Amino acid sequence: MNKQIFRVLIFILILISVNNYLISAEKLKVYISVDMEGIAGVVHREQSSSAGKDYNIARKWMIEETNAVIQGALDAGATEIVVNDSHGSMRNIILSELHPSAYLITGSPKPLSMMQGIDDSFDAVIFIGYHAKAGTKNGVLDHTYSGSSIYSIRINNIEMPEVGINALVAGYFDVPVVLVSGDSEVCFQAKELLSKEIEVVPVKEGIGRYAAKCLPLNKAFKLLREKTKLALKKRSKIKPFKLDPPYTFELEFNFSYQADYPELIPGVKRKNGRTVYFVIKDYIEGFKLMRALIALARSQ
Protein backbone atom coordinates (compact mmCIF):
# COMPACT_ATOMS: atom_id res chain seq x y z
CA MET A 1 0.00 0.00 0.00
CA ASN A 2 1.51 3.30 -0.93
CA LYS A 3 1.46 6.31 1.37
CA GLN A 4 -1.26 8.10 -0.58
CA ILE A 5 -3.77 5.23 -0.31
CA PHE A 6 -2.90 4.75 3.38
CA ARG A 7 -3.69 8.43 4.08
CA VAL A 8 -7.05 8.20 2.25
CA LEU A 9 -7.96 5.06 4.23
CA ILE A 10 -7.11 6.75 7.55
CA PHE A 11 -9.18 9.79 6.50
CA ILE A 12 -12.22 7.57 5.69
CA LEU A 13 -11.88 5.75 9.03
CA ILE A 14 -11.88 9.10 10.87
CA LEU A 15 -14.98 10.22 8.94
CA ILE A 16 -16.83 6.99 9.83
CA SER A 17 -15.99 7.26 13.54
CA VAL A 18 -17.01 10.96 13.69
CA ASN A 19 -20.30 10.09 11.96
CA ASN A 20 -20.96 7.24 14.40
CA TYR A 21 -20.24 9.55 17.31
CA LEU A 22 -22.69 12.14 15.99
CA ILE A 23 -25.43 9.50 15.53
CA SER A 24 -24.95 8.12 19.04
CA ALA A 25 -24.92 11.64 20.49
CA GLU A 26 -28.30 12.74 19.06
CA LYS A 27 -29.59 15.56 21.25
CA LEU A 28 -32.69 14.99 23.41
CA LYS A 29 -33.32 17.89 25.76
CA VAL A 30 -36.21 17.35 28.17
CA TYR A 31 -38.02 19.95 30.27
CA ILE A 32 -40.02 18.80 33.33
CA SER A 33 -42.39 21.11 35.24
CA VAL A 34 -43.38 19.63 38.62
CA ASP A 35 -46.44 20.72 40.58
CA MET A 36 -47.54 19.07 43.82
CA GLU A 37 -51.36 18.82 44.03
CA GLY A 38 -51.37 16.01 41.45
CA ILE A 39 -48.75 13.82 43.15
CA ALA A 40 -50.01 10.39 44.33
CA GLY A 41 -51.00 10.56 48.00
CA VAL A 42 -51.54 14.34 48.09
CA VAL A 43 -55.17 15.36 48.77
CA HIS A 44 -55.01 18.25 51.27
CA ARG A 45 -53.32 21.57 52.00
CA GLU A 46 -51.78 20.01 55.14
CA GLN A 47 -49.64 18.13 52.60
CA SER A 48 -49.21 20.72 49.83
CA SER A 49 -48.60 23.82 51.98
CA SER A 50 -45.07 24.24 53.36
CA ALA A 51 -46.65 25.12 56.73
CA GLY A 52 -48.70 21.90 56.77
CA LYS A 53 -47.84 19.13 59.20
CA ASP A 54 -47.67 16.48 56.44
CA TYR A 55 -45.67 18.63 54.00
CA ASN A 56 -42.33 16.86 54.40
CA ILE A 57 -43.68 13.45 53.47
CA ALA A 58 -45.58 14.93 50.48
CA ARG A 59 -42.47 16.68 49.13
CA LYS A 60 -40.65 13.33 49.39
CA TRP A 61 -43.33 11.72 47.16
CA MET A 62 -42.98 14.69 44.77
CA ILE A 63 -39.23 14.11 44.47
CA GLU A 64 -39.71 10.35 43.99
CA GLU A 65 -42.20 10.85 41.12
CA THR A 66 -39.80 13.36 39.56
CA ASN A 67 -36.93 10.87 39.81
CA ALA A 68 -39.03 8.15 38.15
CA VAL A 69 -39.70 10.49 35.21
CA ILE A 70 -36.01 11.45 35.00
CA GLN A 71 -35.13 7.75 34.87
CA GLY A 72 -37.65 7.28 32.04
CA ALA A 73 -36.13 10.21 30.16
CA LEU A 74 -32.66 8.68 30.53
CA ASP A 75 -34.06 5.35 29.26
CA ALA A 76 -35.24 7.25 26.16
CA GLY A 77 -31.74 8.70 25.62
CA ALA A 78 -32.14 12.16 27.15
CA THR A 79 -28.94 14.17 26.86
CA GLU A 80 -30.05 17.05 29.10
CA ILE A 81 -32.88 17.22 31.66
CA VAL A 82 -34.09 20.38 33.35
CA VAL A 83 -36.56 20.16 36.26
CA ASN A 84 -38.53 23.28 37.19
CA ASP A 85 -40.05 23.22 40.69
CA SER A 86 -43.49 24.71 39.97
CA HIS A 87 -45.43 24.60 43.23
CA GLY A 88 -46.05 27.30 45.84
CA SER A 89 -42.72 28.72 46.99
CA MET A 90 -41.11 26.61 44.24
CA ARG A 91 -38.61 25.41 46.84
CA ASN A 92 -40.09 21.95 47.42
CA ILE A 93 -37.60 19.70 45.62
CA ILE A 94 -34.47 19.07 47.66
CA LEU A 95 -31.50 19.22 45.29
CA SER A 96 -29.51 16.56 47.13
CA GLU A 97 -32.43 14.09 46.75
CA LEU A 98 -33.03 14.78 43.06
CA HIS A 99 -31.62 12.34 40.48
CA PRO A 100 -28.05 13.55 39.85
CA SER A 101 -28.59 13.65 36.07
CA ALA A 102 -31.01 16.60 36.20
CA TYR A 103 -30.59 20.36 36.59
CA LEU A 104 -33.00 22.00 39.05
CA ILE A 105 -34.66 25.42 38.72
CA THR A 106 -35.81 26.37 42.21
CA GLY A 107 -37.30 29.41 43.98
CA SER A 108 -39.70 32.19 43.04
CA PRO A 109 -40.77 34.57 41.62
CA LYS A 110 -39.54 33.58 38.17
CA PRO A 111 -40.54 35.50 34.98
CA LEU A 112 -42.03 32.39 33.39
CA SER A 113 -43.15 30.83 36.68
CA MET A 114 -44.13 27.16 36.13
CA MET A 115 -42.39 27.32 32.71
CA GLN A 116 -39.18 29.11 33.69
CA GLY A 117 -36.22 27.89 31.65
CA ILE A 118 -38.14 26.66 28.60
CA ASP A 119 -36.83 27.78 25.21
CA ASP A 120 -36.58 26.49 21.65
CA SER A 121 -33.54 24.33 22.42
CA PHE A 122 -35.80 21.75 24.16
CA ASP A 123 -37.31 18.74 22.35
CA ALA A 124 -40.13 17.81 24.74
CA VAL A 125 -42.00 18.99 27.82
CA ILE A 126 -43.44 16.87 30.65
CA PHE A 127 -45.89 18.00 33.35
CA ILE A 128 -46.08 15.97 36.56
CA GLY A 129 -48.07 16.48 39.76
CA TYR A 130 -50.56 18.63 37.81
CA HIS A 131 -54.20 19.25 38.83
CA ALA A 132 -57.49 20.10 37.14
CA LYS A 133 -58.77 23.64 36.50
CA ALA A 134 -60.75 25.54 39.15
CA GLY A 135 -64.31 24.26 39.43
CA THR A 136 -63.70 20.65 38.31
CA LYS A 137 -65.89 18.02 39.99
CA ASN A 138 -63.67 15.38 41.65
CA GLY A 139 -60.59 17.42 40.70
CA VAL A 140 -58.17 16.90 43.60
CA LEU A 141 -57.17 20.35 44.95
CA ASP A 142 -58.50 21.93 41.74
CA HIS A 143 -57.51 25.55 41.03
CA THR A 144 -56.06 27.71 38.26
CA TYR A 145 -52.84 29.49 39.21
CA SER A 146 -54.36 31.00 42.37
CA GLY A 147 -56.93 29.22 44.52
CA SER A 148 -57.57 32.37 46.57
CA SER A 149 -58.31 34.70 43.65
CA ILE A 150 -59.10 32.91 40.36
CA TYR A 151 -62.56 31.56 39.52
CA SER A 152 -61.57 30.91 35.89
CA ILE A 153 -59.12 31.93 33.17
CA ARG A 154 -60.21 31.97 29.52
CA ILE A 155 -57.81 32.42 26.63
CA ASN A 156 -59.46 33.04 23.25
CA ASN A 157 -62.70 31.92 24.90
CA ILE A 158 -61.35 28.54 26.03
CA GLU A 159 -61.48 27.92 29.79
CA MET A 160 -57.98 26.83 30.65
CA PRO A 161 -56.40 24.57 33.24
CA GLU A 162 -52.74 25.29 34.08
CA VAL A 163 -51.90 22.45 31.68
CA GLY A 164 -53.25 24.55 28.79
CA ILE A 165 -51.83 27.91 29.91
CA ASN A 166 -48.37 26.36 30.35
CA ALA A 167 -48.53 24.21 27.20
CA LEU A 168 -49.09 27.44 25.23
CA VAL A 169 -45.80 28.76 26.67
CA ALA A 170 -44.06 25.60 25.42
CA GLY A 171 -45.93 25.94 22.10
CA TYR A 172 -44.61 29.49 21.73
CA PHE A 173 -41.15 27.90 21.54
CA ASP A 174 -42.43 25.08 19.28
CA VAL A 175 -41.95 22.42 21.96
CA PRO A 176 -44.69 19.77 22.43
CA VAL A 177 -46.02 18.58 25.79
CA VAL A 178 -45.69 14.78 25.49
CA LEU A 179 -46.78 13.53 28.93
CA VAL A 180 -49.02 14.78 31.73
CA SER A 181 -49.47 13.12 35.11
CA GLY A 182 -51.68 14.00 38.05
CA ASP A 183 -55.22 13.02 39.01
CA SER A 184 -57.55 11.42 36.47
CA GLU A 185 -59.40 14.73 35.88
CA VAL A 186 -56.30 16.68 34.80
CA CYS A 187 -55.29 13.78 32.56
CA PHE A 188 -58.72 13.94 30.91
CA GLN A 189 -58.51 17.73 30.49
CA ALA A 190 -54.98 17.49 29.02
CA LYS A 191 -56.02 14.93 26.38
CA GLU A 192 -59.12 16.95 25.46
CA LEU A 193 -57.24 20.22 25.14
CA LEU A 194 -53.75 19.39 23.86
CA SER A 195 -53.91 16.21 21.81
CA LYS A 196 -55.19 12.64 22.00
CA GLU A 197 -51.61 11.62 21.17
CA ILE A 198 -50.06 12.69 24.47
CA GLU A 199 -49.35 10.11 27.15
CA VAL A 200 -51.02 10.52 30.54
CA VAL A 201 -50.39 8.88 33.89
CA PRO A 202 -53.34 9.23 36.29
CA VAL A 203 -51.69 8.41 39.62
CA LYS A 204 -54.94 8.90 41.58
CA GLU A 205 -58.66 9.11 40.98
CA GLY A 206 -60.47 11.97 42.69
CA ILE A 207 -63.36 11.10 44.98
CA GLY A 208 -63.88 14.76 45.84
CA ARG A 209 -61.68 17.86 46.17
CA TYR A 210 -59.97 16.44 49.25
CA ALA A 211 -60.09 12.66 48.67
CA ALA A 212 -58.71 10.20 46.12
CA LYS A 213 -57.99 6.56 45.43
CA CYS A 214 -54.23 6.40 44.81
CA LEU A 215 -52.06 3.94 42.91
CA PRO A 216 -49.54 2.03 45.04
CA LEU A 217 -46.39 4.14 44.84
CA ASN A 218 -44.19 1.47 43.22
CA LYS A 219 -46.83 1.06 40.49
CA ALA A 220 -47.04 4.84 39.99
CA PHE A 221 -43.23 5.12 39.68
CA LYS A 222 -43.06 2.21 37.23
CA LEU A 223 -45.81 3.70 35.06
CA LEU A 224 -44.21 7.15 35.12
CA ARG A 225 -40.86 5.72 34.04
CA GLU A 226 -42.31 3.55 31.25
CA LYS A 227 -44.73 6.18 29.88
CA THR A 228 -42.04 8.85 29.92
CA LYS A 229 -39.83 6.68 27.74
CA LEU A 230 -42.75 5.92 25.41
CA ALA A 231 -43.85 9.58 25.20
CA LEU A 232 -40.33 10.79 24.39
CA LYS A 233 -39.86 8.11 21.73
CA LYS A 234 -42.99 9.28 19.90
CA ARG A 235 -42.43 13.01 20.43
CA SER A 236 -42.22 13.79 16.69
CA LYS A 237 -45.86 12.68 16.33
CA ILE A 238 -47.12 15.23 18.87
CA LYS A 239 -47.70 18.81 17.73
CA PRO A 240 -46.84 21.78 19.94
CA PHE A 241 -50.02 23.36 21.42
CA LYS A 242 -50.77 26.75 19.86
CA LEU A 243 -53.68 29.16 19.42
CA ASP A 244 -53.95 31.86 16.78
CA PRO A 245 -52.95 35.40 17.85
CA PRO A 246 -54.09 37.88 19.01
CA TYR A 247 -54.72 36.43 22.45
CA THR A 248 -57.67 37.51 24.57
CA PHE A 249 -57.00 36.77 28.23
CA GLU A 250 -60.08 36.92 30.45
CA LEU A 251 -59.55 36.63 34.21
CA GLU A 252 -62.60 36.03 36.38
CA PHE A 253 -61.78 36.53 40.05
CA ASN A 254 -63.50 34.99 43.06
CA PHE A 255 -64.56 38.42 44.42
CA SER A 256 -65.27 41.80 42.79
CA TYR A 257 -62.66 43.67 44.89
CA GLN A 258 -59.97 41.45 43.32
CA ALA A 259 -60.65 43.13 39.93
CA ASP A 260 -60.32 46.68 41.30
CA TYR A 261 -56.50 46.98 41.03
CA PRO A 262 -56.02 44.88 37.85
CA GLU A 263 -58.45 47.24 36.06
CA LEU A 264 -56.01 50.14 36.61
CA ILE A 265 -53.33 48.70 34.30
CA PRO A 266 -53.25 50.27 30.79
CA GLY A 267 -54.83 47.94 28.24
CA VAL A 268 -56.78 46.01 30.87
CA LYS A 269 -60.56 46.44 30.72
CA ARG A 270 -63.29 45.58 33.21
CA LYS A 271 -65.91 43.26 31.78
CA ASN A 272 -68.11 42.98 34.85
CA GLY A 273 -67.91 42.99 38.63
CA ARG A 274 -65.28 40.31 38.96
CA THR A 275 -63.89 39.95 35.42
CA VAL A 276 -61.12 41.80 33.55
CA TYR A 277 -59.69 41.13 30.09
CA PHE A 278 -56.98 42.28 27.72
CA VAL A 279 -55.97 41.54 24.12
CA ILE A 280 -52.31 41.05 23.21
CA LYS A 281 -50.30 39.85 20.19
CA ASP A 282 -47.42 38.11 21.97
CA TYR A 283 -48.38 35.12 24.13
CA ILE A 284 -45.41 35.39 26.50
CA GLU A 285 -46.19 39.07 27.16
CA GLY A 286 -49.79 38.04 27.82
CA PHE A 287 -48.72 35.24 30.17
CA LYS A 288 -46.58 37.68 32.17
CA LEU A 289 -49.35 40.31 32.34
CA MET A 290 -51.80 37.61 33.48
CA ARG A 291 -49.48 36.71 36.35
CA ALA A 292 -48.98 40.35 37.33
CA LEU A 293 -52.78 40.84 37.42
CA ILE A 294 -53.17 37.78 39.64
CA ALA A 295 -50.48 39.14 41.98
CA LEU A 296 -52.36 42.47 42.14
CA ALA A 297 -55.64 40.69 42.85
CA ARG A 298 -54.01 38.79 45.72
CA SER A 299 -52.32 41.89 47.15
CA GLN A 300 -55.36 43.15 49.13
Please state, in angstroms and as integers, the Cα–Cα distance from residue 182 to each residue in 31, 40, 226, following that order.
17, 7, 16
Specify the residue, 143 or 274, whose C-beta has the smaller distance to Zn ion.
143
Query: According to CB under 5 A, which residues from 18 to 37 bind Zn ion?
Result: 35-37
Query: Could you say whether residue 143 binds Zn ion (CB under 5 A)?
Result: no
Contact track, Zn ion, 48-87, x by CB under 5 A: ---------------------------------------x
Residue 123 near residue 28, CB atoms below 8 Å: yes
The alpha carbon torsion through 226, 229, 230, 236 (nearest 10 deg) reads 170
Query: Which CB sits closer to Zn ion, 77 or 88?
Result: 88
Whether the Cβ atoms of residue 40 and residue 66 lie closer than 8 Å to each other: no
158 DSSP β-pair partners: 155
CB of 160 to Zn ion, least distance (A): 15
Under 8 Å between Cβ of 88 and 94: no
Q: What does the DSSP 8-state code read for residue 244? A: P
Active site residues: 143
Q: Is 291 in the site for Zn ion (CB under 5 A)?
A: no
In this complex, which beta carbon is closest to Zn ion, that of residue 36 or of residue 223? 36
Residues 87-126 that bind Zn ion (CB under 5 A): 87
Please give the backbone phi and psi of residue 15, each rounded to the nearest 5 degrees, phi first. -60, -45
Minimum distance between the CB of residue 88 and Zn ion, rounded to whole angstroms? Answer: 6
Q: Interface with Zn ion includes 142 (CB under 5 A)?
A: no
Q: Which is nearer to Zn ion, 129 or 262 (CB)?
A: 129
Minimum Å gap between C-beta 144 and Zn ion is 11
- 133 binds Zn ion, rule: CB under 5 A: no
Whether the CB-CB separation of 150 and 144 falls below 8 Å is answered with yes
CA distance 175 to 161: 18
Q: Tell me which residues touch Zn ion (CB under 5 A).
A: 35-37, 87
